[in-house]
Amino acid sequence: MAPIDSRAFLNVDKDAPRWKLSDEVVIARNKEGQNIVRAMTWDELEYKDYILKFTLSVFGSQPDTGFALYIGLHGSIQSRAERKSEMDDDDKVKNAVQLGAVYVALRFANKTGTGKYNGNTWDTHFTPPAQDASKNPSYTPSSSATSFVDSNQIYLLGFSAGGDAVYRLSTNLAGRFAATHMSAGHPGDVQFDNLANTPICLQVGDEDSAFDHNTCTVDSAFTLDALALRHPGYYAHDCYVYVARPNAWAHNSWSAAESGLTRGPILTDLHTWRVDPERGQLSQRTMNTNAIDWVSQHIRNPLPRKVVWNLRSRPARDMELDPNWPSKRLFYWLYLHKDTDSSTTFEATFDAESNSFFLNRKDAPAELGFLLSETMVDFSREVNVYLRGDGKKKQLFGTYKVSVNEEIKKQTLDARGDDKLVYAAAIRFTEKTEQKNGTPKKWVEAEVADTLFTD
């Protein structure tokens, strides 16, 4: 999906207003008590010596649950701030975005006065400052600034270099998005394990061969196919490969998908196309391929029953600040109480009926913990923790009595700024050591945590 073209960005000077609190954009309430929010056309955020410019459009009044939020990431040549606004871009998006929604089109995070990040690179949206901004997927400096957004309806969409970023941010911050949409990007070394509960749609033109966009997109879909087969009911995804072109440039031939084009011809036999593109083009169908329509089908479940967490896919963080940045250490209801450079993948489930957590491995990792809420398990009953080697036979590791811990609630809110990812208790594995006959003996136990982190 191509976000709003960079022509929608205006020049920002020293007198530009700063985005602060939601009260500053709420101008009235209707008779039902809903917020009526003005549509802001441009703004900027400051982080250290970086500036993140963006446009923001609001459609309709605030629903009771909060606005749905759509974040659009531009391509690497769509970033020149001097371009002027052309309203037809916004009009096209209005045809797709539902009422009661906010659309944010981001410009790359630029280093003030130096142009170090010039917006023309493939990683323009996940340079260190851009990833710092993405701690909160609404790209605002505090959770209070987005109190009118429903955190279960945050959608990420990007085209070209923005598509590269969708691959990266979708996997690094999978627990924050309801669904994501990638157009004409390249996955690089991204691994897709973390997308078990984050639906993703991939689209590309069949002749978009620059940097192997077309074949890499299809190969990514095949990887997701394999994950979905291994985990039935998870890894929801689609892949649309377009064959019709309104213009001659293959890379941009289908970029109107987000701006009103609702039906288009796509390939249906991607396995044949991958081996023999000419023969693969014989099998086509026409269907709704609108990017915003696709992601809008999905609402985030903040408490999925199963979580798959590949530690290789975690957000980067500017090491000048906090090397143990909390958001890097929490993923849905799993967390690292002690940071680690491990590249392992955790697969865990919880079961409300049996009041149990299951970790699908033979050994207990000393750095891992479970976050608990009263909607997940019954705090009046003991909570069971099982190891399940090879996913076959479960082994009881221990039973634990938990209670509401206000410090854990505060820490989990502070870590992600999301009131739907707040937990009231934690159980963590921890390594124990004792000297026996002059030789240190080590083993792993589990305990109810009184605070989130141990380092």
- The verdict on 392 and 357 lying in the same domain is yes
Say what the pLDDT of residue 142 is.
34
Please give the helix or strand (H or E) that residue 71 lies within, else none.
strand 67-73
Chain centroid to CA 89: how far? 25
Judged against a pLDDT cut of 90, whether residue 2 lies above it is answered with: no
- The answer to whether 183 and 2 have CB atoms below 8 angstroms apart is yes
Say what the pLDDT of residue 388 is.
85
- The verdict on 334 and 281 lying in the same domain is no
Q: Mark which of 246, 266, 296 sits at the end of a domain.
A: 296
Does any domain span residue 243?
yes
- The answer to whether 420 and 376 have CB atoms below 8 angstroms apart is no
Residue 90: which CATH number?
A: 3.40.50.1820
d(C-alpha 413, C-alpha 411), whole Å: 5
CA angle (119, 223, 125) in 5-degree steps: 10
Does any domain span residue 1?
no
The rounded mean pLDDT for the chain is: 76
Does any domain span residue 408?
yes
Judged against a pLDDT cut of 80, whether residue 409 lies above it is answered with: yes
- The verdict on 193 and 83 lying in the same domain is yes
- The verdict on 209 and 342 lying in the same domain is no
Does any domain span residue 454?
no
Does any domain span residue 119?
yes
Supply the DSSP symbol for 18: B
Question: Domain span at residue 376?
Answer: 306-448
- The answer to whether 67 and 149 have CB atoms below 8 angstroms apart is yes
Q: How far apart are the first and last CA of the chain?
A: 41
- The verdict on 292 and 340 lying in the same domain is no
Query: Residue 154: CB partners within 8 Å, gap ≥ 6?
Result: 68, 69, 71, 137, 138, 176, 177, 178, 300
d(C-alpha 415, C-alpha 422), whole Å: 9
Q: Mark which of 296, 322, 354 sits at the end of a domain.
A: 296
Does any domain span residue 157?
yes
- The verdict on 87 and 214 lying in the same domain is yes
d(C-alpha 52, C-alpha 325), whole Å: 20
- Give the residue carrying structure tokens 């997701």: 224
Instruction: For residue 261, give the 3-state DSSP assignment.
Output: coil
Say what the pLDDT of residue 393 is.
77
Average pLDDT over residues 86-101: 52
Say what the pLDDT of residue 401 is.
98
Does any domain span residue 455?
no
Q: Mark which of 278, 296, 314 sits at the end of a domain.
A: 296
Say what the pLDDT of residue 18 is.
36
Please write the tens of the pLDDT for every residue from 36-85.
444 444 555 665 666 666 677 777 777 888 889 888 886 655 444 333 33
**Contacts by 145-148 with C-beta closer than 8 Å and gap 24+?**
145/19, 145/20, 145/21, 145/22, 146/22, 146/69, 147/22, 147/66, 148/22, 148/26, 148/35, 148/37, 148/62, 148/66, 148/67
Single pTM value for the model: 0.82
- The verdict on 32 and 133 lying in the same domain is yes
- The verdict on 86 and 33 lying in the same domain is yes
- The verdict on 46 and 103 lying in the same domain is yes
Say what the pLDDT of residue 178 is.
97
d(C-alpha 243, C-alpha 254), whole Å: 9
Tokens of 21: 């609190």
Split into its structural domains, the chain has a count of 2
Least confident range from 39-53, 93-107, 255-269, 377-391: namely 39-53
Judged against a pLDDT cut of 60, whether residue 186 lies above it is answered with: yes
- The verdict on 128 and 43 lying in the same domain is yes
- The verdict on 170 and 212 lying in the same domain is yes
Say what the pLDDT of residue 15 is.
33
Does any domain span residue 453?
no
373 or 95, which is more confident: 373
Q: What is the β-pairing status of strands 50-59 and 101-111?
A: antiparallel
| Bridge partners (DSSP) listed for residue 156 | 71, 180
- The answer to whether 448 and 434 have CB atoms below 8 angstroms apart is no
- Supply the DSSP string of 295-346, one letter for each residue: HHT----SS-SEEEEETTS-----TTS-TT-GGGGEETTEEESS------EE
Length of the chain, in residues:
455
d(C-alpha 85, C-alpha 268), whole Å: 38
- The verdict on 290 and 324 lying in the same domain is no
